Structure 1
């Protein structure tokens, strides 16, 4: 008979990419995870993981079993959580993914307060700016700023943010202050590489698109902010990155007469299963913590 700990080991190895990483995720010794996986293979009479010197990959049998394994583990977890929730508390594992910088600045602090109120929840938070496969990688939900187009996911609004052009006072004193969209052609721009480099500004006739000349392209919002603080150029960032720098004057809003398209923070979860009570409670908590309008925009008013 298959054991749950063997199925758990298989899922962890498949998602983490190695036995060592799976052991760290499960809080177990590497030898324990390896033994559980080997026992599962003996039980089903098939090799489930192909081991090479560089990587691990599921075999065809492993691919077939892991779908059922995830479903079984989720059913067990949900059943355990339901029993606890009937007693009026929230409990059990919850796995989330989110962007690195927003996670460090805003998501993490809000979650810490939530977990202090619900100590029986075991939350795993993976911060990564790549667009993880929420449906396939075993996440209960993902949090992202920007569009989510995966039709396998239910997407819900979590918070909004203005997006402002900013630069350091020193840069503007040296290079001059652009006052119109046309004058953005002469600036040095700090651009984000993970999406289109276009800067989009809605107006009465539609959307004006500016394609500035880049002095730096980088895939991290905090590095973009730091580059602007260093006087490197003008950048376009959500206010959740820069509200404190604007408040203390270390960055200045470059007002060109029209404001760029805003940013939206979403939470998304697989469409083939209903969100658990603990996920619903966390989403409601985050909406309250961030506020409407969000506190990073209120700080600028």
Structure 2
């Protein structure tokens, strides 16, 4: 007889990429997860995974079994969550990925009161600036800032997100204040490398216009981009949730070049075709109410 614990272990190992990481997520020992995998394979009469010291790969049988196994695990989790909702509570596991700076500055402080009010929710929050694959990596949802480009995701907007063109007063005193988009060509820019060279996009009557200053420094972290701008290294295009406090304190000044950066959003996205759980909807609703629209962190709010 196939035991559901083995199916859960198998799906977790595939999504995590290793037995040790799956054990961490399941809060079990590696030996327990390995035994459950072996028992599942004995019940099915075939190998599901090729195991080496460096990696795990799916066998042909494992590939065939994975889709239905994943669906079974998700259905059980959602059924358990629905039962909790019927009893008037939100419960069960939920796994969300979010960017580093926004997670530290705003998402965490917004979520902590929600989790305190719903102690039966088991949240795993993975903070990472890389673009995760929500479906294949086993996330219930991802929270991101910026343009929405993955058509396989169902997107819920949490709040608008304005980006500010900013620089330190010292830099503007030395290099001059740009008054038009063309002036930016003569300035130094601090760029977010995860977005590539076309990051500075502005709305004009003719459509989106990409502008690029001379590279001062490229960084893949928003906190450090802000710090580099405060240090006077150049101009940066930053979300208001990062730059807003520094603008209010006078450490950075917003620059008006006649056109606004393209609008962006803080959003939550979940895989297409997967029915979102009541607890995921509750998290999204709570974040909308907490962030507000326009958001509380925007100095022009």
TM exceeds 0.5? yes
Which residue of the partner structure matches residue 201 of structure 1?
A: 202
> 1:51 — aligned with what?
51
Q: Would you say the 8 A contact 1:238–1:262 is kept in 2? A: no
Query: Counterpart in 1 of 2:221?
Result: 220
**What is the deviation of 1:175?**
2.1
Unaligned runs of 5+ in 2: none
2:189, 2:212 within 8 Å by CA — same for their partners in 1?
no
Please report the TM-score for the alignment, with normalisation by the length of structure 2.
Answer: 0.94
TM-score between both structures, scaled by the size of structure 1: 0.94
- Report whether the alignment pairs 1:165 with 2:165: yes
Aligned pair in 2 of structure 1 residues 148, 261: CA closer, same or farther (>3 Å)?
closer
**Displacement of 1:135 after TM fit?**
2.3
Asked whether the equivalents of residues 201 and 258 of structure 1 are also in contact (C-alpha less than 8 Å), the reply is: yes
**SS of the residue 1:138 aligns to:** coil
Deviation readout 1:61-109 (Å, 9 max, x if unpaired): 2222221121111111112111211111111111111122211111111
Q: Secondary structure at the match of 2:297?
A: helix
Deviations 1:185-215 (CA, angstroms, capped at 9, x unpaired): 1111111122242322212333332122212
State the match for 2:254 in structure 1.
Answer: 253
Partner of 1:60: 60
CA distance in 2, matches of 1:200, 1:242: 18
Secondary structure, in 3 states, of the residue corresponding to 1:150? coil
Contact kept? 2:98, 2:125, Cα under 8 Å? yes
**How far, CA to CA, are the matches of 1:135 and 1:201 in structure 2?**
32
SS of the residue corresponding to residue 273 of structure 1 reads coil
- Residue in structure 2 matched with residue 277 of structure 1 by the alignment: 278
The answer to whether residue 167 in structure 2 is matched with residue 185 in structure 1 is no
Alpha-carbon separation, structure 1, partners of 2:129 and 2:2: 36
Cα 1:116–1:194 change in 2 (3 A) is same
User: Which consecutive segments of 4 or more residues in structure 1 shift more than 4 A?
Assistant: none
Indicate conservation of the 8 Å contact 2:99/2:143, yes or no: yes
Residues 65-74 or 200-209, more deviating: 200-209
Residue 5 of structure 1, CA deviation:
1.6
1:158 touches 1:267 (CA, 8 Å); kept in 2?
Answer: yes
Count of residues paired in the alignment: 300
1:194 match: secondary structure: helix
Work out the CA distance in 2 between the residues paired with 1:62 and 1:93.
24
Which deviates more from structure 2 when the two are superposed, residues 288-297 or residues 74-83?
74-83
Distance 1:202 1:234 in 2: 18
Q: For 1:32-111, what aligned pairs fall within 5 Å after superposition?
A: 32-111=32-111
> What SS does structure 1 have at the residue aligned with 2:191?
strand
Contact 1:135 1:152 in 2 (8 A): no
* Structure 1 unaligned regions, length at least 5: none
C-alpha deviation, 1:240, in angstroms: 0.8
How many Å apart are 1:160 and its aligned residue?
Answer: 1.0
Contact 2:147/2:264, CA 8 A, preserved across alignment: no
- The corresponding residue for 2:234 is 233
Q: Secondary structure at the match of 1:235?
A: strand
Q: Using the alignment, how far apart are the partners of 1:148 and 1:180 within structure 2?
A: 28
Are 2:146 and 2:264, in contact at CA under 8 Å, matched by a contact in 1? yes
